Structure 1
């Protein structure tokens, strides 16, 4: 599918998209993180900050990266091979989003017998082989009443990209592989299963190379929250705001704008950078055929705002309520005195 420059919209269409973004199930689901974090007593102020794509654990002259993904039961039941593939792929994306390279994955599979587990395991194996990252163990239960899947990953980074280091005045960049199609019925933009192994591995390596070159300090993998929801999580952790210009968002031609803004791409990242580093970042993605563009800016007002020409609407206001509840606690006035 060919690309178009962005998502310019009429006034009525913009109003409809704003309403859908505010009601987004993917974005609302991110609030579950706040519930779990509060119960566990962890967050952005923890020794290992929580709220990022991975836990970044200091280790020698770098960091060990540890992450885990669990998959919706209906996804595992409806597309088990692709669920297994995604078990590897989305974890690799999380490692890359933090400037890391993967070491190994483990999986936990529940199924009603070997026949039900077979396509999930086949998808896991296919992705492991294509991306060149081994599955080194896990947990298996073939005597349950429904299929479920969880996959964890270990990686390593020399220099981090994080959700906690976006700064007001920086440019917000989106980089998305548009060489794909929707894998129905879910909002997954699938651009990986037919791609050559060398391309997949090289594309993922762009993120650690950008980190190691010092071109960016903040990034996030575009997840089920979509471009706007992921921007919100990044902004909350960095205690900033973001303004997104819809006319600049890279998008496939003919896609429904609201669906696209809430989609989960197989390769999609948000990065922030100072204006002087933006051209170098864009060129690295463009050289590999990946659509990348500056789509907005980081602000100090702690709101997530979308812009369409002269029209602008706030999607989330962190002064009113948190989203994932993992933003660092600001210093108290008496502590700063």
Structure 2
């Protein structure tokens, strides 16, 4: 929660300049380089590619990791390779079915902690590792992970509507591991990890969520910007509605990458039912803002307002989506 003396303009400026926020600007360059747009098959901009299969949707998600992250804690990098991809599948309203890994290392011994992390996470979440690619002649550790899944009904990044409430659902039972990575998964029992992810496809099946994304690199604020741009809307985030875990400043919480965290665009009449699903499993869920017409993502605190980003003036993902 914010205090009366919060310098919103300064906060917005610092967040806008933070490396975790700026890093997502590369998505637009990659999309352009590949000749893609939001209308391409798989719909770039979503958390996973979704391909219709006649009975629902096949989902494909992938994640590559920066070398410094892998080198600092190879076991945790392996765990995260599974965890973040499973969150992407869940964010789409899906359930993961298989994991593929791509590992580079100077030797099998050097790769062991990385592989242990992958194996341990796959076992904890109950999703099988089915193979991939391995190179034990590389000069340094490297990791990429892909996950396959299925959904009967999608949650996408493209369907938020003005008038919706923005709900943040985050597991607060964790701590920072490195950088701004807030992990609540390492001590959780497997049945809790699996049941928590199942909330999302259950919400999708019930038709309670209009749109959503998992909170990834860039945190709440960066993810809100991506959701806003994909849906062609504006989003307002109320700092007074944020509830960071004890001892964590709102500024850091806004840019943190939680192991379990989702932003959901929900019709006001469905908000209580959505929040109750998470609360029943000990996960904090509350409306932290609202979806508005336009293209501005703003921070508010009482009567004070500050522009964080206008995605029409300065595209973030640059997918060519029209604005509401």
The TM tier, using the shorter chain, reads over 0.9
Counterpart check, 1:42 vs 2:42:
no
Contact 2:231/2:323 (8 A) holds in 1: no
Counterpart check, 1:118 vs 2:112:
yes
Provide TM-score, normalisation by structure 1: 0.94
**Deviation per residue, 1:269-328 (Å, 9 max, x gap):** 000111000000000000000000000000002110011111111111122110011243
Counterpart check, 1:55 vs 2:32:
no
Structure 1 residue matching 2:96: 3-state secondary structure = strand
Separation in structure 2 between the aligned mates of residue 15 and residue 315 of structure 1, nearest angstrom: 8
Which of 52, 58, 65 pairs up with 1:64?
58
Provide TM-score, normalisation by structure 2: 0.97
Q: Which runs of 4+ in 1 moved over 4 A?
A: none
Change (3 A) 1:177 1:37: same
Structure 1 residue 116, shift from structure 2 partner: 1.4
Which of 232, 243, 248 pairs up with 1:250?
243
After TM superposition, the structure 1 = structure 2 runs for residues 157-306 of structure 1, keeping only pairs within 5 Å, are 157-184=151-178, 186-306=179-299
Separation in structure 2 between the aligned mates of residue 299 and residue 327 of structure 1, nearest angstrom: 19
Contact 2:20/2:218 (8 A) holds in 1: yes
Structure 2 residue matching 1:145: 3-state secondary structure = coil
Q: Which runs of 5 or more residues in structure 1 are unaligned?
A: 1-6, 332-337
Structure 1 residue 219, shift from structure 2 partner: 0.8
Instruction: Tell me the equivalent position of 1:313.
Output: 306
Structure 1 residue 142, shift from structure 2 partner: 1.0
Structure 2 residue matching 1:152: 3-state secondary structure = strand
Contact 2:59/2:89 (8 A) holds in 1: yes
**Deviation per residue, 1:66-88 (Å, 9 max, x gap):** 01000110000001100000000
Counterpart check, 1:324 vs 2:317:
yes
**Deviation per residue, 1:108-156 (Å, 9 max, x gap):** 0011112210000000000000000011000001111111100001000
Structure 1 residue 13, shift from structure 2 partner: 4.7
RMSD (Å) for aligned C-alpha atoms: 1.3
Equivalenced residue count is 324
Counterpart check, 1:150 vs 2:157:
no
Which of 137, 158, 161 pairs up with 2:131?
137
Structure 2 residue matching 1:38: 3-state secondary structure = helix
Q: Which runs of 5 or more residues in structure 2 are unaligned?
A: none
Which of 70, 81, 92 pairs up with 1:87?
81
Contact 1:250/1:292 (8 A) holds in 2: no
Structure 1 residue matching 2:46: 3-state secondary structure = coil
Structure 1 residue 330, shift from structure 2 partner: 6.9
Structure 1 residue 48, shift from structure 2 partner: 2.9
Separation in structure 1 between the aligned mates of residue 194 and residue 155 of structure 2, nearest angstrom: 18
Structure 1 residue matching 2:99: 3-state secondary structure = strand
- Which deviates the most, 225-234 or 112-121? 112-121
- Which deviates the most, 51-60 or 248-257? 248-257
Separation in structure 1 between the aligned mates of residue 74 and residue 229 of structure 2, nearest angstrom: 33
